[in-house]
Amino acid sequence: MCKKTLPFVLVLLASCSTTLGSADEELPKEGVTAPIVCSSTNDQRPLIACPGMNRIEAKTAIETLTMTGEIAGAALGVEARWAGVIRGAGIGGDGRPSADNLAGYVAIWCDGEGELLFDTSGAACRIHNACGCVANETCRVSCPEAAAFPRLDAGEAITAAYPDALENDVFQVEYDLRDAAGWKVKKSGDSDWILVPDAEPVP
């Protein structure tokens, strides 16, 4: 306990410990329970392992959005929202990544200040955390106020685009709200994309 002998007040106050912390310290954003370190601005690759979820195996596009959304919410807090973009490569006809090591989905989440890019290639789960990319004007996409998940999952879009697809065919798929309200699908080896409007799936 600090003494309060008058001649030494200034010296003793300087030496007393405090639990209040510095006024310059930033408090976590509301809802943040598992923050993720910022990625290097010089390396755009997703190299950070997803906390608590090292692998996302054989998931459809919407399942991938649901799982990455849980991580984004814990990392970004209550402002976390899907940026309206998901892309898949090496995707089978059922909408799930094939066994190829490069197959998987890329999805982007944001909070109006930065963005999280998730990469599930090879069934791994990795992140690039672009902190402050809005202010720096280096974000991959603009961050919308809110974006609902697609109504069609990738497998349904593939079936609509290629109803006669073979079991071992693989596809590229892309859903980007900035381009069109629907899926773009392309079979491996094809040069043209097929646009599938995002409508309610047929029962």
Tell me the pLDDT of the chain (203 aa) as tens digits: 544 444 433 333 334 334 444 444 466 678 899 999 999 888 889 999 999 898 999 999 999 999 999 999 999 999 999 999 999 999 999 999 999 999 999 999 999 999 999 999 999 999 999 999 999 999 999 999 888 999 999 999 999 999 999 999 999 999 998 877 799 999 999 999 999 999 866 55
Residue 73 CA to chain centroid, in angstroms?
10
* Residue 7, domain member (yes or no): no
Residue 166's domain comprises 32-197
What is the pLDDT, as a whole number, of residue 14? 38
Distance, in Å, from the CA atom of 109 to the CA atom of 86, rounded to the nearest integer, reads 10
Residue 176 tokens read as 């980007």
What is the rounded end-to-end Cα distance, in angstroms, of the chain? 73
What is the pLDDT, as a whole number, of residue 18? 40
What is the pLDDT, as a whole number, of residue 203? 58
Distance, in Å, from the CA atom of 12 to the CA atom of 20, rounded to the nearest integer, reads 17
Say which residue the tokens 């859903």 belong to. Answer: 175
What is the pLDDT, as a whole number, of residue 201? 64
Strand-by-strand arrangement of the 115-119 sheet: 48-49, 126-130, 115-119, 104-110, 81-91, 171-176, 182-187, 194-197
Distance, in Å, from the CA atom of 75 to the CA atom of 92, rounded to the nearest integer, reads 31
Q: DSSP state, 96?
A: S
What is the pLDDT, as a whole number, of residue 16? 39
What is the pLDDT, as a whole number, of residue 178? 85
What is the pLDDT, as a whole number, of residue 5? 46
Threshold 0.75, pTM exceeds:
yes
* Residue 167, domain member (yes or no): yes
Distance, in Å, from the CA atom of 59 to the CA atom of 171, rounded to the nearest integer, reads 15
Q: Pairing mode, if any, of strands 194-197 and 115-119?
A: unpaired
Residue 132 tokens read as 């402050």
* Residue 192, domain member (yes or no): yes
* Residue 17, domain member (yes or no): no
What is the pLDDT, as a whole number, of residue 27? 66
Cβ neighbors of 129 (< 8 A, separation 6 or more) are 36, 37, 38, 39, 48, 75, 114, 116
Q: Number of structural domains, the chain?
A: 1
* Residue 169, domain member (yes or no): yes
* Residue 126, domain member (yes or no): yes
What is the pLDDT, as a whole number, of residue 23? 41
H helices of the chain, in order, are: 9-15, 61-76, 133-136, 154-161
* Residue 57, domain member (yes or no): yes
* Residue 4, domain member (yes or no): no
